């Protein structure tokens, strides 16, 4: 066997010849601002739609956890109400700060 220990074949030029050619970067054409604004609006308003259910579920979960630790049966209702209030406040805060 030529060029190798342990029965490996010898590669001419070293291991660098096994790598592919580097890719050339092609510049992307910029998107029109209308597309970016539309997707930004969709993301913003969908986030507003998720705030209230997420806050209510978080309040419910924390209320159930408090019920478990304090051996009560009503704290989950306080958590749900608190979560709904926090969700509405955050939704109003986001809606009023939304750019026109």
Q: How many CA atoms lie within 13 A of 50 on its CB side?
A: 6
pLDDT at 59 over 70: yes
pLDDT at 29: 67
Which pLDDT value is given to residue 47? 86
Mean pLDDT of the chain: 79
Full-model pTM: 0.59
């Amino acid at each position: 066997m030529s060029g190798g220990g342990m029965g490996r074949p010898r590669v001419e030029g070293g291991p660098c010849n096994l790598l592919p050619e580097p890719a050339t970067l092609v510049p992307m054409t910029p998107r029109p601002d209308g597309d970016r604004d539309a997707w930004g609006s969709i993301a913003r308003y969908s986030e507003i739609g998720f705030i209230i259910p997420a806050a209510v579920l978080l309040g419910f979960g924390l209320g159930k956890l408090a019920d478990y630790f304090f051996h009560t049966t009503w704290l989950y209702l306080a958590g749900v109400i608190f979560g709904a209030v926090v969700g509405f406040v955050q939704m109003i805060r986001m809606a009023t700060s939304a750019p026109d």
